[in-house]
Amino acid sequence: MNDIADLLEPLIAFRRDIHAHPELGFAEHRTAQRIAEQLRAIGLEVHEGIGGTGIVAVLRCGNGKRTLGLRADMDALPIEERTNAAWSSTVPGCFHGCGHDGHVAMLLGAAQVLARDPGFSGTLNFIFQPAEEGLGGARHMIEDGLFERFDCERVYALHNWPGLPAGTISTRPGAIMGAADKFNIVLEGKGGHAALPHDTPDAILAAASLVQQLNTVIGRDIPPSANAVLSVTEIAGGHAHNVLPASVRIGGTVRSFDPVVQDRIEERMRQMIKGIETSFEVRGSLEYDRYYPATINDADAAKDALEVAATVARAELAPEPAPTSEDFSFMLQERPGAYLWLGQGRGDNPPPLHNPHYDFNDDVMETGIRLHVALARHWLQD
């Protein structure tokens, strides 16, 4: 495929324009408008407003019955950029710190290549998804009829990965990204004078004990062979040196890869809170939100993806899943497919995702485009 060179410079400019004008989840109005304009310019059938600001562009060729979906996320993060790039964010407190601008450009580039030289027979759906960053944009698109309106026998997504060498493609069968849960615990006493602790339940002492207990869950209640993380990240309570607060709030996150493990962690947390209630004479409540399921690759789809990737660049089997989460998981609950990582590492210590110094590596854009194109032509063979 030598028909990509003329596309790269405009696509890099497009990526940098999106980077300079980032938009948060479900507010990607300018981004979606620019993407739709580009897709219409190459003659695709474009559908807007799916699941909010989502877009699906359809390319049909030949008489083939197979269907495929390729997905890119569009939203930015609420972080202040510190890259000092010429194309830095012009929006205070908002920037593309996860490379979704690059994902958009790579999928748009694949659409441009395939629109002028399809090389397949079937139906290809280019899915530009809003609100991946914690808001479940994939679920919103599904609930808005994504797969009923645009049939996809398989679906693939590609994410840049700073921890891999630039241009290396990696995936694995089964779990590749963790389930993301968040929890909010409130322990309530009565509040009272700090000099009279015998007159009021001590919610701070109860919270301190509970935090210690929570940090034993993974080590003592989960099998050593199972991967999981429980992190307490917030404690809030009290406002004066001589007052025992009436309540203390504890917040945090749980990451896991197996629903059985996920169930066990929540169960143990609830049991521990009941024990704290008895021991410290406080009232406890737990809000436990399983907001993203684990991202589970279909074994056949992952195997095919690695074989196809090897025709494009260096491809390797990912040795283990990442504990970070991804709402492409919702799409993989509905359709078989796979989530792939594209290495973008530069230098000895590249900034990680969600870091204020991160920027998408434009040098890997061509590899990403070629991978999308190769996946489409493989599944939708003439």
Binding residues for Mn(2+): 98, 100, 133, 159, 354
Distance CA 171, CA 340 (A): 5
Distance CA 286, CA 30 (A): 39
Binding residues, as ranges, are 98, 100, 133, 159, 354
Instruction: Kindly provide the residue ranges of all beta strands, DSSP E only, lying in 64-142, ordered along the sequence.
Output: 67-73, 122-129
Q: What is the CA radius of gyration of the chain?
A: 24
Residues in the chain: 382
Type and span of the H or E element at 148: helix 146-149
The torsion angle over the Cα atoms of residues 350, 354, 359 and 365, rounded to 10 degrees, is 90
Query: Where would I find the H helices in 197-298?
Result: 203-214, 217-221, 259-280
Helix (H, G, I), strand (E, B) or coil at 315: strand
Distance CA 253, CA 273 (A): 16
Distance CA 249, CA 284 (A): 10
C-alpha triplet 92, 359, 127: angle, nearest 5°? 90
- CA-to-CA separations, 326 to 26, 133, 139, 315, in angstroms, rounded: 16, 8, 11, 21
322 DSSP 8-state letter: B
Q: How many CA atoms lie within 13 A of 205 on its CB side?
A: 14
Task: Specify whether the CB–CB gap between 34 and 47 falls below 8 A.
Answer: no
Phi and psi of 170, rounded to 5°?
-145, 145
